[in-house]
Structure 1
Amino acid sequence: MTTSKVRAETGQRLREEREKRGWGKRRMARELLKAIGAPPERKRVDSLDRQMLDWEKGKHYPEQWAAAYATAFEMDEADLFPEIPPAAVTLEGTIASDDWDDMERRQLLLAALGVTLGSSGESLRQLLDMAVESRHRPLDEWGMACTDHLHALHALRTQPPAQVRDGLAVDLLALERQLRVASGTEATELQRVAAALSILHANSFTRLGDHSAAIRWWRTAKAAADASGDLNIRLSARCREAASGLYGQRDLTTVLHLIESARRIAGDKPSYWLADLAGTEAKALSLLGRHDEARQALHTFVRWEGGDARAGIIPSLWCYDQAHFAESWVYARAGDETATGKAREGVLSNPAVDYQYAANVQLHAATCTVAKGGVAEGARQAAGVLDALPTPYRSQYIVETGRMMLRAVPPGDRNHPAVGELREVLATVSPARPALGA
């Protein structure tokens, strides 16, 4: 479907849903602002009122407002926005630069980023630096920023996810500012950077258990990647989205659909991306109890020896222990203690192992114990791993793995006291989602 047709059909749907509820455009504007936690001030309502006219006429596409619309209408976002035109969006969505001054526009973007303007601390200081510093960053500095967020000051693999989110928000605002005036080759390269940072931002929101925000940022990552024309970053966004869906973000049918959609983009030629998708498929199939199919998909992943796509704009996003982690997951669900233990050793032998991987392979071991009939032992083992998590590190990736383990307990054993204790621990270790700067 063409971009213009998608915009037109989406605009008609938004108008119909609004009118079905008896809302005028100003009421709709207030509902959208409420959905993102922004105050319904008159200036903002006036601006959104004007923007909605263009959205409903199909002139523009409300990409960054998709989640807000879904919240306001109490609908599933995928049902309301089934297809996104790749050329329809920029990092800041459809906020027109002449609708209000930079401060007002930036405040609304901050709300969409999950930033609280009343917060204090290092991230707010960086925002002030950005406001007074007019120099745009060279492209090579943006490339380094992607790696920095993964491994250095805001290390995605080692730091609490809220800290990662805060630092990313600052860079995303600076990037938005530079994208507004970029053109030609610079604009294309900045779209690659926007896609990369959006992937990391979506990952941080997933770790915080904020699925609505994460899904919105996966959409932004894919749109920016598509606009860049870089196949590797397009597939990276889609691979990571599908993998994150396993952790309570999407139902398993949707995860498998995302995998198939990404495969159509990847093509038939063997590649790392197809192998990576096979690894995610193996995990999904194992959760469905389709263990033979899961093993078959797993072999595609662990046997891939090509080095393609691992040296892209986020070179260190891939680590060799990912194959061992997938093995640990799949073999544990099947109750293969020997293979699970060997895979766990492969993960923990990495000196730079992601703290989530370290916790989750222990939860995989507990899952394997349950699969072999040791329900009480496995439940106590899992409860100990979860209870030991420091609050800032209570990532959705870990907590949901604990929930997967709980769901693996046979129905007849779910009233066992040890299982009840595990259930209580899970209720107390939901991901920590403090406001920015807290």
Structure 2
Amino acid sequence: MALRHWRKDIRDIGLRPLADEINWSYSHLAKWERGEQQPHADAIKTLDAKLNAGGYLVALHAAVSELDQLRRGTLDEEPLDEDGYMERRELMRNAAAFAAAGAVAPVLTTLTDAWRMSSPDRSLPGASVTQAMIDDWENAADVHVRRAYFDPPATVLAAVAVDYTDMAPHLSRTQPAAIQRDLAHAAARHTAVIAGKWFDLGNSREAHRWWAKTRELSEQSSDPLLASWLRSCEVGYRQQDPQEDLVNVLSTAQEARRLAGDRSNVALVSALSAEAQALATMGRSDEAITALLRTEEVFTRLPAQITADRDWLRRGTYLDRSLIYTLAGDSRRAAEAQSAARNLYPATHRSAIVIQLHGAALQARTDPEQGADEALRIVGALPTGRRDTRVIRAAHIVLDVAPENAHLLPAARELRALTAA
């Protein structure tokens, strides 16, 4: 998707002319764009130069390649000399340049290195990392999660790859028990973002592999609330995939609820929310509404000292209401939720875009042509890089709820073609 973005949206070059210019076959280039084959490094360097991508494609390819080697356990862990190490780190960090506005990235890299060198070594005997490094990775996870709502998936994936590749070698080493738990905690939050971005890029196979890694790491963290929350995140993605086994997805949501326990907490709210979404997607509207009401009840009973997560949980309940009542055909409650949510999300936030598409679905129930036109307008206004799987799936809800005889309308046919692509 990143390659197509640079070729089509930024440089406006046709696929066949580009293939001719770089002397590679058209079929290979098409497969690379679709993610069916991985281009080798020389080809990426040629494409980066031809598209004037400033090293972004090279850095992204390096990041993804290292992530794949880490997942397979085949990353070469032989020690590099100083020049080799610095070259590798510079390459990996350049992958975050797109997200860090390019000019800021070199300064950020220099300051990060200086921070590491100036921090006192507080590592425990036998540990290969310091607590300060783990805290920094936890903070980085917060940043990646926040940016995931606004930035294109490829940009987020490139940025998170830098941090995860930095911490991954330490995961395979023997650490003191406390350090191992804290390291796994930070790593699990990163792998969850990686899994989500692969899903957004349309690669469900890689997403499933990284969700499995997330579950493994969350268990190593010995934090059941983290394990619950990350499983809820997994459900939030997977329930939108039409190829998914929704019974299995619902089972994962119920596992998240079990891990969260019975007392009111953030993880339990997220788990009940995930269960409600899965039930709604399965067409079990009455059960979904019951789970939604239970979610809202638990939210109101959260301890007063929980403040940091309360706002985003409250916003999430309106998103749940919008989805569940839209699918259930309760136009009044769905419209109320969408109206309230518009004041809670920035206009460019993904959830704000999804809620707009829910509004288009409400229109499609009574005026399919108008609803499909509105969905096309919403998606068409987005940069190509932000038309990710979740946005496209939300647009497809318009077709799901429209009357059967509406599917031959021109706007509906155009929307079907868009969501299929």
TM-score, length basis structure 2? 0.68
1:208 to 201, 206, 227: 201
Q: Secondary structure at the match of 1:389?
A: coil
Corresponding residue for residue 246 of structure 1: 239
Corresponding residue for residue 405 of structure 1: 398
1:149 pairs with 2:144: yes
Corresponding residue for residue 97 of structure 2: 122
The letter of the residue matching 2:97 is E
1:265 pairs with 2:240: no
Task: Report which stretch shifted further, 324-333 or 245-254.
Answer: 245-254
Cα deviation per residue 1:145-189 (whole Å; 9 max; x = unaligned)? 1222233xxx12222221111110000011113434543322211
The letter of the residue matching 1:320 is R
Summarize the Cα distance change of 1:129–1:217 in structure 2 as closer, same or farther, 3 Å threshold: farther
Task: Report which stretch shifted further, 276-285 or 289-298.
Answer: 276-285
- Contiguous gaps of at least 5 residues in structure 1: 1-33, 40-66, 69-90, 111-115, 431-438
Summarize the Cα distance change of 1:233–1:360 in structure 2 as closer, same or farther, 3 Å threshold: same
By relative contact order (CA 8 Å, sep 6+), the higher-ranking structure is 1
1:217 pairs with 2:210: yes
Q: Is the 8 A contact 1:331 1:337 kept in 2?
A: yes
Cα deviation per residue 1:91-135 (whole Å; 9 max; x = unaligned)? 75644766x5669xx99xx9xxxxx98x97837988998999986
Please state how far the C-alpha of 1:277 moved relative to its aligned partner.
2.5
1:229 to 222, 225, 231: 222
Corresponding residue for residue 160 of structure 1: 152
Q: Is the 8 A contact 2:191 2:214 kept in 1?
A: yes
Bigger helix fraction: 2
1:291 pairs with 2:285: yes
Please state how far the C-alpha of 1:143 moved relative to its aligned partner.
2.2
1:387 to 380, 401, 414: 380
Q: 1:310 and 1:392 mapped to 2: Cα distance?
A: 39
Q: What is the identity percentage for the equivalent residue pairs of Structure 1 and Structure 2?
A: 24
Task: Give the alignment of 1:22-421 within 5 angstroms.
Answer: 37=38, 94-95=73-74, 122=97, 138=132, 139-151=134-146, 155-181=147-173, 182-248=175-241, 250-304=244-298, 305-307=300-302, 318-352=312-346, 355-371=349-365, 373-421=366-414
The letter of the residue matching 1:175 is M
Please state how far the C-alpha of 1:295 moved relative to its aligned partner.
1.3
CA RMSD of aligned residues (A): 4.1
Q: Is the 8 A contact 1:334 1:368 kept in 2?
A: no
Please state how far the C-alpha of 1:197 moved relative to its aligned partner.
1.1
Please state how far the C-alpha of 1:418 moved relative to its aligned partner.
2.6
- Contiguous gaps of at least 5 residues in structure 2: 1-34, 41-66, 118-128
Please state how far the C-alpha of 1:380 moved relative to its aligned partner.
1.6
Q: Is the 8 A contact 1:168 1:197 kept in 2?
A: yes
Q: 1:35 and 1:375 mapped to 2: Cα distance?
A: 35
Corresponding residue for residue 77 of structure 1: none
Q: 2:348 and 2:212 mapped to 1: Cα distance?
A: 25
Q: Secondary structure at the match of 2:220?
A: helix
Q: Is the 8 A contact 1:263 1:274 kept in 2?
A: yes
TM-score, length basis structure 1? 0.65
Summarize the Cα distance change of 1:311–1:130 in structure 2 as closer, same or farther, 3 Å threshold: farther
The letter of the residue matching 2:231 is R
Q: How many residues align?
A: 336
Q: 1:218 and 1:177 mapped to 2: Cα distance?
A: 19
Corresponding residue for residue 13 of structure 2: none
